[in-house]
Amino acid sequence: MAKNSPRIYTYKITFEGVPYYYYGVHKERKYNENYIGTPITHKWVWDFYTPKKQILQFFDYTDCGWAEAQQVEKQLIRPVYQTDKWCLNESCGGRISFEIFRRNQELGIGIYSLSPEEKVEASRAGGKKCYELGLGVHALTSEEKSEIGKKAGKFTYENKLGFHSLTEDEKREHNRKAGKRAHELGAGIHAQTHEDKVQMGMRTYQLGVGVHLLTTEERSDFGRIGGIKTSSQIWKCTVTGHQSNAGALSIYQRNRGIDTTNRIRIN
């Protein structure tokens, strides 16, 4: 990179006197330009409090560098997105918060100005155009995508950012909430029919991937160790205070009509 040339970087905005914060990524038009984010929904925080920018990481000023920076930004935001009240990010990797959805719906702008058919067509045409022109992620080779993911993961791990800034208990709670939310929305594996899941299992078996990479002895050891680890964990029902291992507590709660998510881990 030439001296005083434009840069690509991820950053974090904090504010004097309040714990609000905001993660972002920026591609400069000129070196060291004054940039402190482009807030919309929470612009009042920028106006009312004094923002301070911390540059977290620089990237090559290339298409690959820009894609890598965006990947790191997603890894910074994803663990706290819509879960930490002090995080001001209203979007993450293409996902938009309910707040923005509600505002756009009320005003009838953006996607809400289109009919259902127009939405489908716009999405299809946009994806096809990016693919044909080799834009965004389609501009990268499989090796570049893999390398970007590795670098982003390594950076956030080494600097204890995003998901890696959470304690083990916070990570478990985050995963529990994410799983519960996916179940409620019928997303991910919960969107699949029983037949789809069976077909997926058969496919992994035929390809010899996942657990099918292991020998019978390795699977036995893996299951035994997992069972010992699980049974040694003590959980507490937050409704009655009853304590037991995970499996026994699930039976106890179901027999009493208690939601099995009403629990905390003791050890």
- Answer whether residue 58 is part of any domain: yes
Strands (E), 16-83: 18-27, 51-59
So what's the pLDDT on residue 105? Answer: 59
Place of tokens 């003590």: 234
27: domain range? 1-97+140-191
- Answer whether residue 119 is part of any domain: no
Which pair of tokens denotes residue 3?
């001296």
Q: Name the domain count of the chain.
A: 1
So what's the pLDDT on residue 193? Answer: 77
What contacts 24+ positions apart, CB below 8 Å, involve 87-90?
A: 87/20, 87/21, 87/22, 87/23, 88/13, 88/20, 88/21, 88/22, 88/39, 88/41, 88/42, 88/45, 89/22, 89/23, 89/24, 90/40, 90/41, 90/42
Place of tokens 């001296």: 3
So what's the pLDDT on residue 212? Answer: 67
Which pair of tokens denotes residue 170?
């916070």
- Answer whether residue 187 is part of any domain: yes
Which pair of tokens denotes residue 53?
């920018």
- Note whether 214 and 222 are within 8 A (CB): yes
- Answer whether residue 202 is part of any domain: no
Strands (E), 128-234: none
So what's the pLDDT on residue 104? Answer: 53
So what's the pLDDT on residue 97? Answer: 46
So what's the pLDDT on residue 9? Answer: 96
Length in residues, the chain:
267
Pick out the chain residues at pLDDT < 50.
97-98, 100-101
Q: Indicate the pTM of the whole model.
A: 0.44
How crowded is residue 75: how many other Cβ atoms within 10 Å of its Cβ?
Answer: 23
- Answer whether residue 32 is part of any domain: yes
Instruction: Supply the DSSP symbol for 192.
Output: S
- Answer whether residue 107 is part of any domain: no
So what's the pLDDT on residue 102? Answer: 56
- Note whether 6 and 30 are within 8 A (CB): yes
Which pair of tokens denotes residue 135?
């834009």
So what's the pLDDT on residue 137? Answer: 67
